[in-house]
Amino acid sequence: MKRLFDIVMSLIGLIILLPFFMLIAIWILLDSRGGVFYRQSRVGKNGIDFHLWKFRSMRPDSDQKGLLTVGGRDPRITRSGYFLRKYKLDELPQLINVLSGDMSFVGPRPEVRKYVDLYSAEQRKVLEVRPGITDLASLEYFEENELLARSSDPEKTYIEEIMPAKLKLNLQYIARANFGTDVGMIVRTVGRIFK
């Protein structure tokens, strides 16, 4: 049921949003040099790497200056990227990942290999399900970038505080996940974006 929902809704979403995607693409190209899309290797179900799609919101080669985004005004973020990130519009191309089966609408957010390698055996249970575009941890840490901006050592704060807390929420979701909770999570996410 969940996979069928993912296929149908991601396909409908991509068709309906195609004109909007084209407008965003033009804006990104006019705003800064580089491509329209950003692809990053993330760890998916069963620990298998896949390429996650996003609209590019940073200047080219920003990954070389760190994997964490610190604050809404991180100097690597472009003008269009600031707006896209604020309203989570940079995440929309992940509908491609959902359609292809790498992701689901709801599930633990996929992490980069560097941080997955730090997971405990218990925490690695989040890799038993498809990662998602949204989850409970995404809602609880909606302003994660701002939390990191207030830290004197953002990476240490992420590894020692934020990441374990998010993984705990992910494990709670997995233990009680069903179609109803997934729909509720989607509704809550949309509501939080427009709040």
Residue 18: give the domain boundaries.
2-194
Count: domains in the chain: 1
Rounded mean pLDDT, 106-116 = 96
Residues paired with residue 50 on neighbouring β-strands, in sequence order:
42
For residue 132, which phi and psi values (nearest 5 degrees)?
-130, 170
pLDDT confidence tier of residue 59, bands split at 50, 70 and 90: confident
pLDDT of residue 167: 97
2-57 confidence digits (pLDDT tens): 999 999 999 999 999 999 999 999 999 999 988 999 999 999 999 999 999 999 99
Q: Which of 18, 6, 4, 12 is nearest to 99 (CA)?
A: 6
Amino acid 64: pLDDT = 64
The whole-number pLDDT of residue 72 equals 55
By mean pLDDT, which of 13-17, 71-75, 173-177, 186-190 is the weakest? Answer: 71-75
